[in-house]
Amino acid sequence: MTTHPTLTDGLLAPEPLERADTIPSAWYTDAFFHAFDQHAVFASTWQYAGAASRLTTPGDYLTATVGRSSAIVVQQQSGTPQAFYNVCKHRGGPLAMDACGSSRMLQCKYHGWTYRLDGSLRGVPRFNRTELFDKRDFGLTPLETSDWEGLLFVRAEGGGPALSSAMKGIAERIHPMRLTDMRFYQRITYDIACNWKVYVDNFLEGYHLPLVHPELCDAIDYSGYVTETAAHYSLQHSPMLGASAYGNAQSAGGNAWYYFVFPNFMMNILPGRMQTNIVLPLAPDRCRVLFDYYYPAEEMRDDPDGLAVRAGADHDFSHRVQLEDIEICEFVQRGLESPAYDRGRFSAETEAGVHHFQDLLKAAYRSRLSRHGQ
Ligand code: FES
Ligand SMILES: [Fe+2]
């Protein structure tokens, strides 16, 4: 791999929050980093795929993104999910082109090769005259697959922490709320004209709330807004004031928990509601953010009409906040591309989460460079 002039020991070194500069603008804008992030960051970290409860029967599947690749998570005959690259071994076609579905076997959408649910190659049409071909050499490539509190994650390269250690402490902290009681409700997709790191930085501080989100600011007790950091994630939390903001009477007086798990996964948890966000790089200056909404299984079963009203209000409010974030993030991307900017500084009072993310990013870059040489 070639390197980049900004990957110096000085710029990669961790610095204390009070003295640190922000990362160089090239890390958000240069095409080199779009490719480098795939190897240094996304290949070796757990990537959210979806709700485990969506896979109930053998053959149920979800598709997900791992770096630049598509993955398919398939419920096995044994009842556990297993992920594979969503890539046929004939000429690279897809086994699934949709977000989810169910099938007794996996069939490539290009020429129709079929695979068993365990990834072994089963049927190969019109191959009678092909010589020296052994189906056992053409099974699907598996990915590491793990479940945490009913959420499925996949990883391309091992070596990093187990999913349970990356998430250590979260389930205990949000008790008595239990994520395993929540069920997937809907997915909303946003395409944004900014680098994925701009979106993550923006998520990680409440500094911008008064100017960018005045309505959200009124819904929470901003004076009680706190940021904490752990090894692989950070947490921002704040007491909720009103009941109306998320259409959620249960939220009044409760806590809003905003978790970020390195490198690109967020959980926005309120009483009776969870929303996950996964940030997927599309290009140096474009990303896609998937919002998955979860609500209590009991409410989904017992009061679907009431839940539809509540979920509608929740979505409307989140959508307004998201449009405010998109507008500012797209401006920031253009700012980072301008010759007027390279590196800034952090508010030590409010930007500990951004600094923590950027430190983990530098560590991931250092680790990649030390393993593969500069
Ligand atoms: S690429 Fe899959 S059958 Fe041809
Ligand atoms: Fe925001």
Cβ 109 under 6 angstroms from ligand 1: no
Structural domains of the chain, with CATH: 47-155 (2.102.10.10), 165-356 (3.90.380.10)
- For the CA of 91, the nearest atom of ligand 1: 1
pLDDT in 10s for each residue of the chain, 374 residues: 579 999 999 999 999 999 999 999 999 999 999 999 999 999 999 999 999 999 999 999 999 999 999 999 999 999 999 999 999 999 999 999 999 999 999 999 999 999 999 999 999 999 999 999 999 999 999 999 999 999 999 999 988 999 999 999 999 999 989 999 999 999 999 999 999 999 999 999 999 999 999 988 888 888 889 999 999 999 999 988 865 555 555 555 688 999 999 999 999 999 899 999 999 999 999 999 999 999 999 999 999 999 999 999 999 999 999 999 999 999 999 999 999 999 999 999 999 999 999 999 999 999 999 988 64
**CA 177 to ligand 2 centroid distance, Å:** 24
The whole-angstrom separation of Cα 84 and Cα 62 is 11
Residue 59 CB–ligand 1 contact under 6 Å:
no
The predicted model scores a pTM of 0.96
Mutate to test the pocket of ligand 1, among 84, 106, 111 (most ligand atoms within 8 A of CB): 111
Please spell the DSSP secondary structure of 173-239, one letter per residue.
Answer: HHTT--GGGEEEEEEEEEEESS-HHHHHHHHT-STTHHHH-HHHHHHB-GGG-EEEE-SSEEEEEEE
88 ligand 1 Cβ < 6 A: yes
Distance from Cα 100 to the centre of ligand 2, integer Å: 30
What order do you get walking across the sheet with 121-123 strand by strand? 106-107, 114-115, 121-123
CA 103 to ligand 2 centroid distance, Å: 40
> Which residues are CB-contacts of 366 (< 8 A; sequence separation ≥ 6)?
12
Size of the chain, expressed as the number of residues it contains: 374
Nearest-atom index, ligand 1, CA of 93: 1
Nearest CA to ligand 1 atom 4: 111
